[in-house]
A and B are shown apart, each in its own frame.
Chain A
């Protein structure tokens, strides 16, 4: 990674290196392929037009994760504001199920999405960043603009909830 993004070459590098992470985070938060693609497009369009300085790969990836997380948050908020929550969320849920069904080993992982769907967006976000991207609590704090202690709290709550759901209890 260069000191900053310069032109299409670096832009392609950013997509090649972190496109999958952006897409997966957006999908994990929104649970819709179409919405994940929209967020992805927004994030990288923003990256392309921005002159943000990046000190290294870690900085670039953190920025992308933060931008993705914030845009997903705004997307949901905007959705709720437009009073379309009920019908759209139903559509998204149906959409998500259909997508999962097209994946290889979809059945094996169906229970995973059943559990994830019971987590709030804040909890999904920290779980994704910690368990999939491997970020520490301090790094997640930087990305999500919350304190490290709050990250630990959310991880604790997410784990507790996951455990309860896995054990078949009420969430």
Chain B
């Protein structure tokens, strides 16, 4: 590398400037305005089928069709459907609630994206923990451990403390560059994560990987998910399985509510619903936290 900067801020500015200097020939854009319509009219070939694999959206992007104007009637129809669906949702809500979301039980869902150990999980809990469908999280590979990004929000007391009772799991604040989120306060000594109440907080949960598993460590260090992804996922899940998570609500320095959950998880590779980018089935991981009485 010919020049090194210690400031990443300088780097991003230089990156932007460097890209601004990337320009085609001066007449390229004008030439394209003239040439592309001719190319389009003369195009007789069809794009190969495999070009459509990236995503459903992309498939729709390349479908030829006619220009249309969005008509108000269509929106009215959409609005009417929405109202009906909301009505059905309200009517069925008690049944939905019984489908796993009950008091003191947190259900999470996770998936590994593109076989790269990216997981997302949604948590819902009243009073403690997470409470929004947008609070998804990811797991990614890192140096010798996976990290779950998570967003959570306590709703009772002054603040909420998350404590993972395993030496192989630790919690850290997320990248402080995400200034739109409050950075949780971490206690290194007790491995606790302290979160203000009623503020969405982003943090990271690190799960150590068995260093004796050489193939697994090598795969992690490659940084691109190469190697035995299933083994990596298994290892991370093995660490998570059986770990206790205690969530405590504090008010005026005292615990007003505290629950301990045991974390269990399972996954399968057959869920066709979770398909990203390469169009291959990816493991769906289900993590559940059951209250320990």
Q: Which residue numbers of A lie inside 8 Å of B, CB to CB? A: 3-6, 8, 11-12, 15-16, 19-20, 23-24, 27-28, 33, 36-37, 40-41, 44-46, 48-53, 55, 63, 66-67, 70-71, 73-74, 77-78, 81, 103-105, 107-116, 120, 127-128, 131-132, 145-150, 152-153, 155-157, 159-163, 165-168, 171
Docked complex Cα distance between A33 and B23 (Å): 9
| Cβ contacts under 8 Å, A156 to chain B | 140, 149, 174-175
A171: chain B residues at CB < 8 Å are 223
Chain B residues with Cβ under 8 A from A163's Cβ?
A: 8
Number of A-B contacts (CB under 8 A): 195
Assuming the A-B contacts A19-B32, A166-B4, are A45 and B43 also in contact, with contact meaning beta carbons closer than 8 angstroms in the complex?
yes
Q: Is the CB of B19 within 8 A of A33?
A: no
Q: Across the two chains, which residue of chain B brings its CB closest to A127?
A: B15
Q: How far is the CB of A169 from chain B (nearest CB, A)?
A: 11
Q: Mark B45-75, 1 if CB is under 8 A from A, else 0.
A: 0000011011101100111111111100000
Which of B23, B64, B66, B149 contacts A152 (CB under 8 A)?
A: B149
Of all A-B residue pairs in the complex, the 10 with the closest CB atoms, nearest first, are: A109-B18, A111-B3, A153-B138, A51-B67, A149-B136, A51-B65, A51-B66, A114-B1, A70-B58, A70-B54
Residues 98-135 of B, flagged 1 when their CB comes within 8 A of A and 0 if not, give 00000000000000010000101000000000000010
Q: Which residues of B contact A147 (CB under 8 A)?
A: 120, 136, 138
How close is B7's CB to chain A, nearest CB, in angstroms?
8
Q: Which B residues form the contact surface with A (CB < 8 A)?
A: 1-8, 11-12, 14-24, 28-29, 32-33, 35-37, 39-40, 43, 50-51, 53-55, 57-58, 61-70, 113, 118, 120, 134, 136-138, 140, 149, 151, 174-175, 177-178, 202, 223-224, 276-277
Residues of B within 8 Å of A12, CB to CB, are 33
Q: How far is the CA of A111 from the CA of B174 in the complex (A)?
A: 27
Which of A4, A50, A104, A150 touches B138 (beta carbons < 8 Å)?
A150
Given A66-B57, A111-B2, A149-B120: A159 in contact with B8 (beta carbons within 8 A)? yes
Say whether A48 contacts B24, CB under 8 Å: no
Docked-complex contact B70 and A41, CB < 8 angstroms: no
Contact A20 B149 (CB under 8 A): no
Contact indicator A132/B69 (Cβ below 8 Å): no
CB–CB B11/A162 < 8 A: yes
Q: Are B69 and A53 in contact (CB under 8 A)?
A: yes
Question: Given A149-B149, A153-B149, do A52 and B5 touch, yes or no (CB 8 Å)?
Answer: no
Contact between A166 and B6 (Cβ–Cβ < 8 Å)? yes
* New contact pairs (10) apart from A115-B15, A150-B118, CB-CB < 8 Å: A19-B32, A24-B22, A33-B24, A50-B65, A51-B64, A63-B61, A110-B3, A147-B136, A152-B138, A153-B140
- Determine the residue in chain B with the shortest Cβ distance to A55: B70
B5–A111 CB distance below 8 A? yes
The interface residues of chain B lying within 8 Å CB-to-CB of A28 are 19, 22
Jot down 26 A-B pairs with beta carbons below 8 A, ordered by A: A11-B37, A23-B22, A23-B24, A24-B20, A33-B24, A45-B39, A51-B66, A53-B70, A108-B14, A109-B18, A111-B5, A112-B14, A114-B2, A115-B15, A131-B12, A145-B55, A145-B58, A147-B120, A147-B138, A148-B136, A149-B137, A150-B113, A157-B140, A160-B175, A162-B8, A166-B11
- CB-defined contacts of B136 to chain A, threshold 8 Å: 147-149
| Residues of chain A contacted by B12 (CB below 8 angstroms) | 131
Cα–Cα distance between A95 and B17 once the two chains are bound (Å): 20
Q: Report yes or no: B23 in contact with A78, Cβ–Cβ below 8 A.
A: no
Interface centre among B3, B4, B19, B28 (most CB of A within 10 A): B19
